[in-house]
Structure 1
């Protein structure tokens, strides 16, 4: 889930051929007694974010003249597969920026160096405990949290006010009622939901007190009564008055954001990675017009959203000199000073409380998402968890288009999960 802006000419200056980006075993240079060059794969948005991460890397080099950083920006959408391939054969980077959902899987395969007690993680208590937890696998910490995010209800305060609505909805039923009122009073669509995207559907499951699977008990729960209730509610978000019909085209995300940014839809579910782009929209010339609230709650009365973000990780296949340099780089990139710099430049949320300076929290978008972070639920320690979104996304898309019934769609997801998790019961 990243900003959807095409790479500009600036990317050419940042990126180099992946074939030339080896770890210590395939191209990185230096020794324990001389200059060391580490390769870093940065998976942030090439246009909005990567230049600021490269600026940090240059600051690190200035402070550490014996370490050079080969900065490579890798498109997020292809980064997981490229990392998997590189670490499984050759050409892996010494250090990289990983989605939090990839950490357990990479650790299970032995690709990551444990960071407990290393210079990369001198004080785990400096970070939010739930973020450290989801950087761990089988009792060891394999990543240092760099940025965090979650999903929230983003809404256009002016449109809500025009419709006579003074507070954001706290339940899905209230959201549907508000959407109908906004459409009736203003003529603008009240709400648009991402269709056919398993990640964006997670608040519906959490709101019913369930998940796609029960990891501790090794049980597939996607067909449970609570999951059925969640998907029925999800389905209703595309058919209720004032809500937008499902868009499953390849440009659906861009369509949704264009509509919201320019005042053509009053509310969406999304994360802080879009703050910068939202502020550039015609509806948010006044930044205070952007409302940020927790995702609505389900029948349990509790709201819940997935925790996203990125961890800094070190490749286990690099030699000792490169691992040591990479660990030092990780500590620098995740320091309070570096996180504050990135928050101010990229509008992202730090992972450590001491990075939330007065200047950072003066950003209304960051402050808004900081307030709803307590509703974020960490990923379970399941290497296959990120892969669960593939089948759920495909079949939820079919359900909301009327191509599958709710039960048939959930049965299809359960069948896919049984293949992916053969040790789990239904």
Structure 2
């Protein structure tokens, strides 16, 4: 079976990848264009100056990905040793508050030269002037390779391109099969009510051993909800971040319905104690130890449990449950349009492009997919790459219920964000309908102001079909 993404036919043999989590990392030096690197490389002015002075061009590369850091370190080492222009790249991997760290760095004139970009941070980075457009570097060969994956408000803004695609992520329910069996549950939940009931059964069956039915990384409510509610809503037929694509307005009423079930699990004490301050890696450690029945997350998890938290538990990934057990939309493939970007404040943008060009080479992108770090979405790479061989990966394969969705506008409201407001309700109660109405007012006010300023554009689509979100 094949799926059509933005006019592309991507084979269902694509395997879901391991992507996007933060961590601590370090430096390493790298360089040289790999076989299959798009476009012709020419010596940069900065590199030429470096050759004359003997001093290397130092580039700083910041990322919040940890799952792939060993592979990235290898690539950087090779680049540093072989680029031939005395360019040296230093890698910094951050565990938390990546966006805030980038803000501070640009404010204090200590910005990196290359940044890891994702769909969640690119619009804001462009808006703040952090990124340099790369249009001047795009040869005909590069445009042919990546052009069909250039998406407005994802990697192209106001007609300017800031990043190129590499991989995407699927989102799934991750569950412990043994704990389900012990609680007498034959299959993972397909509805939210089943999820609530299953979490309670697992907790009752295993509480004496410190086992609980459900958990999320609620230390960051937005991170927790964006890896869970987002997918529940998209499969239920709603845009997962609270935006109604049909009306071009924010509507958090569906979101509030999902929160009711999360709140019920909290009241049932089916959620791992201390989850309010739990980060994603401690959660994974608890899951690997067999203490959590289920949680929702990205296609990062197979690689995490192979390398970072090796485990012997019998676990799997499956489609997220929906509001009523019926699939009325597609599971959103996220972070599929961006990977690397160049700092607008870099004094060595030509050298930074040389490194970026190297990283987008065919061999590197193909191996990135085959090692399971992400789902390859570049057509020429999809044709070449083999399916990753990582335990648990079968549950994250792209299938008939997965697709890309249009980008939702990114706005900042006055007052609490949707994640903070709903998390507070989950813990303390209140009036969910009033909270949703208040969020609608504040988010739509922010949206109107952003449209007036020309920061975002919104075009309502009354005919939008959540089963075919890209119109395929």
TM-score bracket relative to the smaller structure: 0.7 to 0.9
Counting only pairs closer than 5 Å after superposition, residues 210-225 of structure 1 correspond to structure 2 as 210=239, 211-214=241-244, 218-222=248-252, 224=253
1:163 and 1:389 mapped to 2: Cα distance?
Answer: 42
Which moves more between the two structures, 351-360 or 196-205? 351-360
1:30 to 46, 57, 62: 46
Which moves more between the two structures, 168-177 or 272-281? 272-281
- Which residue of structure 2 lines up, in the alignment, with residue 284 of structure 1? 311
- Which residue of structure 1 lines up, in the alignment, with residue 4 of structure 2? none
Q: 1:332 to 1:107 in 2, by over 3 A?
A: same
Counting only pairs closer than 5 Å after superposition, residues 380-399 of structure 1 correspond to structure 2 as 380=407, 382-384=409-411, 391-399=417-425
- Which residue of structure 2 lines up, in the alignment, with residue 238 of structure 1? 266
1:373 and 1:399 mapped to 2: Cα distance?
Answer: 35
Q: TM-score when scaled to structure 2?
A: 0.69
Cα displacement (A) at 1:311: 1.8
Which moves more between the two structures, 184-193 or 62-71? 184-193
2:161 and 2:395 mapped to 1: Cα distance?
Answer: 29
- Which residue of structure 2 lines up, in the alignment, with residue 192 of structure 1? 215
Please tell me whether residue 327 in structure 1 is matched to residue 353 in structure 2: yes
1:336 to 355, 362, 380: 362
SS in 2 for 1:101: coil
1:110-165 CA distances to partner (integer Å, 9 max, x unpaired)?
Answer: 43233346248944565696685522223332112344323211112233344454
Aligned residues of 1:398 and 1:409 also touching (Cα < 8 A) = no
Please tell me whether residue 43 in structure 1 is matched to residue 63 in structure 2: yes
2:27 and 2:342 mapped to 1: Cα distance?
Answer: 24
Aligned residues of 1:344 and 1:359 also touching (Cα < 8 A) = yes
Please list every run of 5 or more consecutive structure 2 residues that lacks an aligned counterpart in the other structure.
Answer: 1-18, 30-43, 452-472
Cα displacement (A) at 1:66: 0.9
Aligned residues of 1:120 and 1:327 also touching (Cα < 8 A) = no
Q: 1:344 to 1:172 in 2, by over 3 A?
A: same
Aligned residues of 2:168 and 2:334 also touching (Cα < 8 A) = yes
Please tell me whether residue 256 in structure 1 is matched to residue 272 in structure 2: no
Cα displacement (A) at 1:80: 1.9
Please tell me whether residue 95 in structure 1 is matched to residue 123 in structure 2: no
SS in 2 for 1:371: coil
Counting only pairs closer than 5 Å after superposition, residues 7-156 of structure 1 correspond to structure 2 as 7=24, 11=25, 30-32=46-48, 35=51, 37-45=57-65, 49-87=68-106, 90-116=109-135, 118-119=137-138, 122-123=141-142, 126=145, 132=151, 134-156=154-176
1:116 and 1:365 mapped to 2: Cα distance?
Answer: 39
1:416 and 1:114 mapped to 2: Cα distance?
Answer: 32
2:450 and 2:131 mapped to 1: Cα distance?
Answer: 26
Aligned residues of 1:192 and 1:244 also touching (Cα < 8 A) = yes
- Which residue of structure 2 lines up, in the alignment, with residue 269 of structure 1? 296
- Which residue of structure 2 lines up, in the alignment, with residue 311 of structure 1? 339
SS in 2 for 1:52: helix
Cα displacement (A) at 1:68: 0.9
- Which residue of structure 2 lines up, in the alignment, with residue 209 of structure 1? 238
Aligned residues of 1:103 and 1:383 also touching (Cα < 8 A) = no
Q: How many residues align?
A: 400
Aligned residues of 1:192 and 1:256 also touching (Cα < 8 A) = yes
Structural RMSD (CA): 4.1
Q: TM-score when scaled to structure 1?
A: 0.76
Aligned residues of 1:199 and 1:389 also touching (Cα < 8 A) = no
Q: Which has the higher helix share?
A: 1
Aligned residues of 1:295 and 1:305 also touching (Cα < 8 A) = no
Aligned residues of 2:217 and 2:280 also touching (Cα < 8 A) = yes
Please tell me whether residue 298 in structure 1 is matched to residue 323 in structure 2: yes
Aligned residues of 1:220 and 1:417 also touching (Cα < 8 A) = yes
Which moves more between the two structures, 393-402 or 416-425? 416-425
Aligned residues of 1:39 and 1:94 also touching (Cα < 8 A) = yes
1:247 and 1:416 mapped to 2: Cα distance?
Answer: 31
Cα displacement (A) at 1:263: 1.4
Please list every run of 5 or more consecutive structure 1 residues that lacks an aligned counterpart in the other structure.
Answer: 16-27
1:284 and 1:91 mapped to 2: Cα distance?
Answer: 40
